[in-house]
Amino acid sequence: MIEFRQVHFSYNSREILKDVNFSVGFHERMAVLGGSGEGKTTILKLILGLIRPDGGKIFVDGEDITVKQESELRDIRMKFNMVFQDGALFDSLNVKENVAFCLREYTNLSEDAIDKKVRRILHTVGVEHALELMPEELSGGMHRRVSLARSLALATPLMFLYDEPTTGLDPLNADNICRLIADLSREGKGFIMVTHKVSDALKVADRFVFLRDGRLLFDGNSHELLNTTYTDLKAFVGEVVPRDSSHAR
């Protein structure tokens, strides 16, 4: 479980998060919704201990990560599989080498075992045909899949953390990524998906929180989200989900 207790965070003197409280089980499928710059990615970075809060506590698996040394945070980070928005790949390496890179860096696997593992993972994310392609030859959707494959190569996480996984993709590719996210969460491994695309969040998540002005102002299921009477959230949801949406459950 991840728990935020009265978390405050500022960049320089600008308050980004103000008294944020929530807990989420590793098996849950939660979307963090909010407009641009509201602090959604900041929440993911705090969970990984990449940045520290100015106030409050963050517990991961019962451990207070706000008091951990950098060396101890590695074990915490291994519990998660984080896919960042830009998912930067190494430009000079092809798809296969990009995925193999961290296996060579961090494991003692033989070249043969690495080759098998890379092929299996690329098959999982549906880009096995792109083994030899260079990053510049990939479409946005394929690029996102290879980034996901690369982070899947190293760890079998307790939970996935996705930062805007469908932003910038055309509807077809966005849909494919949503399907992949749903598939990867089948075995009880949950995720936190940060996004401003409510319609994509509705395809995969069953819990939704809404971040506005540094606070979590909503926490509910899809039915509650689509029927909210909270004006700001209603406007946010209404912008992206037509009133007669078939997503309504």
Per CB under 6 A, residues contacting ligand ATP are 11, 16, 34, 36-42, 196
Is residue 202 within 8 Å of residue 240, measured between CB atoms?
no
Query: Six-digit token pair at 142?
Result: 């394929």
Nearer residue to ligand ATP within complex by CB, 41 or 166:
41
b (16+ CB within 10 A) / e for 4-13: bbebebeeee
Which residues lie closer than 8 Å to 167 by C-beta, 6 or more apart? 85, 195, 196, 197
For ligand ATP, the closer of residues 148 and 163 by Cβ is: 163
Q: How far is the CB of 32 from ligand ATP (least distance, A)?
A: 8
Round to whole Å and give the CA distance between 118 and 125: 11
Minimum distance from CB of 236 to ligand ATP (Å)?
12
**Structural contact between residues 201 and 31, judged by C-beta atoms closer than 8 angstroms:** yes
Cβ at position 205, least distance to ligand ATP in Å = 16
H or E stretch at 159: strand 159-163
Q: Are 102 and 153 in contact (CB under 8 A)?
A: yes
Q: How far is the CB of 216 from ligand ATP (least distance, A)?
A: 12
Residue 116 identity: K
- Judged by beta carbon, residue 127 or residue 208, the one nearer ligand ATP is 208
Smaller CB distance to ligand ATP: residue 13 or 108?
13
Nearer to ligand ATP, 100 or 198 (CB): 198
* Smallest distance from ligand ATP to CB 225, Å: 18
β partners of residue 215: 212
Output the smallest distance, CB 168 to ligand ATP, in A.
11
Q: Torsion-angle region of residue 209: left (phi > 0), alpha (psi -120 to 50) or beta?
A: beta
Q: How far is the CB of 105 from ligand ATP (least distance, A)?
A: 26
Contacts of 128 (CB under 8 A, 6+ apart): 119, 122
- Residue among 20 and 202 whose Cβ is closer to ligand ATP: 20
CB 235 within 8 A of CB 38: no
- Report the residue number, 96 or 143, with the smaller CB distance to ligand ATP: 143
Other beta carbons within 10 angstroms of residue 175's beta carbon come to 15
